[in-house]
């Protein structure tokens, strides 16, 4: 998948190793930031990414596992859980329009 238009994003999954802890914090932050957009944000273990995910956010160290678990989904890897530029770009693109690249 090359990317997804921001208007087609309905569900973001924050995936981590166990689906707890840091991913819960990031998912909560994203829910607040995207509250007015209608985009839902959930967290899950990387091996349990649901089929209805439009965008998957995960730590760069888990990107290969996320790609294997959710082939064809737009994957946005990041380095730090709070304040990462990749996450900021995703939020800004959803709010302002544009394409999120895989």
Catalytic residues: 16
Q: Is the dihedral of CA 70, 75, 81, 87 positive or negative?
A: negative
Q: Tell me if residue 43 falls in helix, strand or coil.
A: strand
Q: HSE of 49 in the Cβ direction (CA atoms, 13 Å)? A: 28
């Amino acid at each position: 998948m090359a990317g997804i238009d921001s208007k087609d994003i309905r569900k973001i999954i924050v995936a981590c190793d166990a689906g707890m802890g840091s991913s819960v914090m990031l998912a909560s932050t994203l829910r607040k930031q995207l509250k007015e957009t209608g985009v839902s944000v959930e967290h899950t273990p990387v091996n349990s990414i649901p089929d209805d995910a439009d965008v998957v956010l995960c730590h760069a160290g888990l990107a290969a596992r996320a790609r294997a678990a959710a082939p064809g989904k737009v994957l946005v890897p990041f380095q730090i859980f709070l304040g990462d530029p990749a996450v900021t770009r995703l939020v800004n693109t959803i709010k302002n329009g544009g394409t999120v690249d895989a």
